[in-house]
Amino acid sequence: MHRKRVLYKRIRYALYAFVLVLATFTAAVVMAVNHYNMYPGKVERDSLSSPGRGSDYIIVGWDETHSTDMYKVWVKERDLVKKDIEKAKAEAGDEETPEIVPDETWDEYETTVPEITVKGLEPDTSYSFIVRADNVEKEGVATQPRNFKTKRSQKIKVRKMITKFTFSKPFKPKVSAETDVTYETGDPKVAVVDPETNKIKITGEGETEITITARSSREFEAAKRTVELKVIDADPVSAGGATPNIIYYLDSDNCELVKKVTGSGGAVVPQGLAYTGDKYIISYGMGSPNRIISFDVDGDGKSVSVPSVSLGHPNGFTYANENGRCYCVKGWSSKAYTYEPTSDSYGSVNLSYGCSGIGYDRKKKLLYTCSRTAMVAYDISDGYSVKYRCGVVNHSGTVYTQDCGGHAGILLRCLSGASKHGTNYIDLYDMKNGRYLGTLSCDLSEVESCIVNKDGFLEILSNNSSNVDYIWKTDLNIDTLGEGL
């Protein structure tokens, strides 16, 4: 009997203890639940990541926390944070890195979701981010800084306009970019992109836009640039005796007036145009007097040279960048007079063929001459040896060979008709392959000469039978037109 009482007593005490433990545990659980519900969760520094970046923005995300109504985000340039740390170490006399607490020098943001996009940042710059979870009752615990860097911006450098023939070979625009580029054309009837070679293939005449995209990389953001592609319908044929084929019309609607020029000292009729890159140099005269006059491409600068030799009718004129000389030819002559602008000195050289016009190809480093019978290319660096010779197109009626220009392998032969101030012409020849490419019809008064400017565009000197004459810039890019012949 006594043993039973002792056993019951022990069981009762055990039940009391169990109830006490259960009550204590329940209270602890209730307190934990209340604490969990009352206090926002802690954002872990290691959970901060950047799913996206550009040159002026950074996207930062983190793990979602419980009991959170909003997240506070502080941002500051990393270099400035480093200075703050060094200052705090110096003031405390301690080498340990202090805990970073954001103050009014940090930019502050709020978000209700565990991600934020911070804009208006500087390219190629590291930024420190601190994140804290809050609710309406309590503030959470802020992370220590984590650093993310903006990407570097990039620019695509390419010509604004590309000109091609319908027979031009597939090509890639000459592009300068930091990452690989792709192309997209706006009109497949004009051009398409070959997916295997990433080259642009001409499909027909007309105009379209080419969108060039430089891909995004870990270091650089993506970039886009749009250029205009102009495709001219042409069918190249053997130049000798070919029938003229008008492939493009030039007038004041598609040409820009870039310079007005005037003569001097009684020499008021412009004959030939030369181009140095920063100066236009024009030969003036119809026998005597003669003048060589330089005009600044930009600005109103003008200088006059009185030739020490008789240039006669200085029909052809050009400037060779290779040796810094101007070359001038009279109507049908195999002697070319030279003029050096820097020393204002004159001389002469003998050519293999007579000619009425002369031009220089800066890209191919060749001297071109034109006449009624042939186009000739000379190698200046090899004693003016003949490199190419090409037959001419036979224009019906009365035409006069004026001057010629040249660039990227194309000779541009200037012609005037019976009415010199009516419709004039410029024949295009592929000198290397001896082909006639087509003729430009020009309603710009008398076309005396032409050059190709530093951007590759054709410019024309027109004589207006007055004391004020014009230099017109066309919308034809000869530099790109000559590629892929």
CATH classification at residue 105: 2.60.40.10
Same domain, 252 and 209: no
DSSP state of 264: B
Same domain, 253 and 359: yes
pLDDT at residue 467, rounded to an integer: 84
φ, ψ of residue 376 in degrees (nearest 5): -130, 140
Question: At which of 149, 174, 191 does a domain end?
Answer: 149
> Are the CB atoms for 241 and 391 separated by under 8 Å?
yes
Residue 30, pLDDT > 90, answer no
Same domain, 223 and 281: no
Return d(Cα 106, Cα 130) in angstroms, integer. 10
Return d(Cα 62, Cα 70) in angstroms, integer. 13
**pLDDT tens readout for residues 408-449:** 999 999 999 888 888 999 999 999 999 999 999 999 999 999
For a pLDDT cut of 90, what percent of the chain falls above it? 82
Same domain, 275 and 200: no
Same domain, 214 and 307: no
pTM: 0.81
Question: At which of 172, 198, 232 does a domain end?
Answer: 232
Question: At which of 216, 232, 248 does a domain end?
Answer: 232
Mean pLDDT of all residues in 30-50: 78
In a domain, 354, yes or no: yes
Q: What domain range includes position 195?
A: 161-232
Site of tokens 């007036």:
257
Residue 32, pLDDT > 50, answer no
In angstroms, how far is CA 110 from the centroid of its own chain? 40
Q: Residue 195 sits in a domain of what CATH number?
A: 2.60.40.1080
In a domain, 133, yes or no: yes
Same domain, 324 and 440: yes
Query: Please, which residues have CB within 8 angstroms of residue 312's CB and are 6 or more apart in sequence?
Result: 287, 290, 330, 331, 333
Residues β-bridged to residue 471: 259, 461
pLDDT at residue 21, rounded to an integer: 60
Count other C-beta atoms under 10 Å from residue 224's C-beta: 11
Per the structure, the count of domains in the chain is 3
In a domain, 481, yes or no: no
Same domain, 294 and 326: yes
In angstroms, how far is CA 176 from the centroid of its own chain? 7
pLDDT mean across residues, the chain: 92
Return d(Cα 478, Cα 322) in angstroms, integer. 20
Helix, strand, coil % in the chain, rounded to nearest 5: 15, 45, 40
**pLDDT tens readout for residues 87-110:** 988 888 878 888 999 999 999 999
SS3 14: helix
Return d(Cα 433, Cα 133) in angstroms, integer. 74
In a domain, 267, yes or no: yes
Residue 451, pLDDT > 60, answer yes
Cα-trace Rg, the chain? 39
Q: In this predicted model, which residue has the larger pLDDT, 372 or 190?
A: 190
Same domain, 247 and 195: no
Same domain, 132 and 181: no
Return d(Cα 434, Cα 139) in angstroms, integer. 83
Same domain, 314 and 449: yes
In a domain, 398, yes or no: yes
Same domain, 182 and 118: no
Edge to edge, the sheet with strand 49-53 lists 49-53, 57-61, 115-119
Same domain, 87 and 179: no
Query: What DSSP assignment string belongs to 194-252?
Result: -TTT--EEE-SSEEEEEEEEEPP-SSB--EEEEEEEEEE----EESTTPPP-EEEEE-T
Q: Which residues of 366-402 are buried (b: 16+ CB within 10 A; e: fewer)?
A: bbbbbbeebbbbbebeeeeeebbebbbbebeeebbbb
Residue 13, pLDDT > 80, answer no
Edge to edge, the sheet with strand 469-477 lists 256-261, 469-477, 457-463, 446-452
Residue 34, pLDDT > 90, answer no
Q: Residue 376 sits in a domain of what CATH number?
A: 2.120.10.30
**pLDDT tens readout for residues 144-192:** 999 999 999 999 999 999 999 999 999 999 999 999 999 999 999 999 9
In a domain, 197, yes or no: yes
In a domain, 248, yes or no: yes
pLDDT at residue 396, rounded to an integer: 84
In a domain, 408, yes or no: yes
pLDDT at residue 26, rounded to an integer: 56
Angle at 73 between CA 105 and CA 87, to 5 degrees: 35
**H/E segment holding residue 305:** strand 302-305
